[in-house]
Structure 1
Amino acid sequence: MKRRAVPPKGPFLLSVSLLRERVSSFDRYPYSIPGVRALRTLKLDPKVTFLVGDNGSGKSTLIEAIAVAAGFNAEGGTKNFRFSTRRSESELHTALRLARGASRERDGFFLRAESLFNLATNIEDLDKEPASGPPVIASYGGVSLHEQSHGESFLAVALNRFSGYGLYILDEPEAALSPSRQLAFLRIIDELVGRKGSQFIIATHSPILMAYPHATIYL
């Protein structure tokens, strides 16, 4: 009798540390940014961690570096995506150490509201190539992300591509989501965290998202 696979148990990332000995100067970007300059070790919530701050505080720079250090593409997607429309990521990921949990995630995604257009374009480009399997867009709901509004396409990715038992890193999702869609997104998070053993790290300044109860907030 074939045994059923046991799902991985998080947390998948325990903490993020800045290896300060690798920083040549805290007077140059990105180490001069307040949120980066002050970083030592950031303990991550096993469910949801929010990185909060004003524009220019460094939250998006840090979330991008965490994602890249974890193996994701800087412009978003799964670890299999390797497209680049413009190399804009900082070198911060080279100075980060990620402490991993005992098990590895089954799924993962880095989702950036600002580069969702680029992700959608890459999916369409991949589907133009000869393939024996189903089209890539089938995993995202089957409808072109370009044919949906910003908010609709963002939720389509979360609803259809986030399969659970995963590590999901998000940069300012509120930029794509209206207040009502932010509430819908919270329900998706709660389902993935509560019933499907997932872990989220989210850079945001949305009070709606920060109201999620099972989370740690870093200002």
Structure 2
Amino acid sequence: MFLKRIQLQHDQIPSFQSYPFSIPSIKSLHQLDIKSNVTFFVGENGAGKSTLLEAVADKCEFNTAGGGRNNYYEVDASESALGDYIRLSWLPKVTNGFFLRAESFFHFASHVDTVEAADSYGSRSLHEQSHGESFLSLFLNRFKGKAIYLLDEPEAALSPQRQLTFLKILRDLDVSRESQFIISTHSPILLGYPDATILSFDNGHIKEIEYEMTDPYQITSYFLQNREKFLKDIFDD
């Protein structure tokens, strides 16, 4: 494990009334200790998990539109407003890694086509593969060596079966002790990864919770066990 701690430098923030400092979970953040090789950020949309993950990517000098240190291209609204106000503590520090931003992956794939050989990603352009195939090609071919990987909702392109495939890839990299992952997700499948730390951004602060206490697990579990009642309650509301 390389990244040990994330700190928000409160004394340097001009105002907590403006975004992203007005997000409750960010406003209440002082120090966040990273305890596991695999850490999940979980919470409702707008809770701040992707905002903090993007800030970590910015501080790692990864392209906040998606990519690593050497992937230079621009996407609108890819700048991190929070990155200048956090401090990362490492032991040891690594400079290799990747920031996966699902919403702008198309632009990363276009960038790869212009600067890298196609055979780096399974002998085909990422654009010639399905969305799910291209994600798995990235994981299988780009993720290696001592590195930190920051993934924002990787399940966006993965079917349930391919999410299980991703868990196997994650496991292989985790047991090598050379890779660290911080993953923002809504997926109850990904959150089920063993021995991971799950940090919830809900209710205005960041706290560690158990898998069975996450909303993705509880809502999915209840729906599968009580589908007809669940849908009736929603439709009759």
TM-score scaled by structure 1?
A: 0.87
Determine the structure 1 residue equivalent to 2:130: 149
How far the C-alpha of 1:202 sits from its partner, in A, is: 0.6
Match of 1:50 among 27, 40, 52: 40
TM-score scaled by structure 2?
A: 0.80
SS of match in other structure, 1:202:
strand
Q: How does 1:169-188 map to 2 (within 5 A)?
A: 169-188=150-169
How far the C-alpha of 1:196 sits from its partner, in A, is: 4.7
Structure 2 distance, partners of 1:22, 1:176, is 38
Match of 1:139 among 108, 112, 120: 120
SS of match in other structure, 2:92:
coil
Which shows bigger deviation, 80-89 or 63-72? Answer: 80-89
How far the C-alpha of 1:205 sits from its partner, in A, is: 1.4
Does the CA-based 8 Å contact 2:173-2:179 persist in structure 1? Answer: yes
Determine the structure 1 residue equivalent to 2:81: 91
| Runs of 4 or more above 6 Å deviation | none
Q: Please tell me the root mean square deviation across aligned C-alpha atoms, in Å.
A: 1.4
Counterpart code for 1:176: A
Name the count of aligned residue pairs: 200
Structure 1 distance, partners of 2:153, 2:186, is 7
Counterpart code for 1:31: F
Instruction: Pick the structure with greater CA Rg.
Output: 2
Does the CA-based 8 Å contact 1:164-1:196 persist in structure 2? Answer: no
Determine the structure 2 residue equivalent to 1:207: 188
Counterpart code for 1:54: E
SS of match in other structure, 1:125:
helix
How far the C-alpha of 1:103 sits from its partner, in A, is: 4.9
Are 2:26 and 1:60 equivalent residues in the alignment? no
Q: How does 1:109-124 map to 2 (within 5 A)?
A: 109-124=98-113
Structure 1 distance, partners of 2:147, 2:195, is 17
Match of 1:38 among 23, 28, 32: 28
After superposition, give the CA deviation of every residue in 1:71-125 in whole Å (9 maximum; x if it has no partner): 10011112111211214323100000000113536x4111111111010011112
Does the CA-based 8 Å contact 2:40-2:182 persist in structure 1? Answer: yes
Does the CA-based 8 Å contact 1:19-1:96 persist in structure 2? Answer: yes
Percent identity, aligned pairs only, is: 51
Determine the structure 1 residue equivalent to 2:227: none
Determine the structure 2 residue equivalent to 1:5: none
Counterpart code for 1:213: P
SS of match in other structure, 1:45:
coil
Does the CA-based 8 Å contact 1:19-1:97 persist in structure 2? Answer: yes
> What are the ranges of 5 or more consecutive residues in structure 2 without an aligned counterpart?
201-237
Counterpart code for 1:30: P
> What are the ranges of 5 or more consecutive residues in structure 1 without an aligned counterpart?
1-10, 128-134
Distance 1:51 1:144, change over 3 A: same
Determine the structure 2 residue equivalent to 1:189: 170
Q: Which has the higher helix share?
A: 2
**Greater relative contact order (Cα < 8 A, sep 6+):** 1
Does the CA-based 8 Å contact 2:36-2:197 persist in structure 1? Answer: no
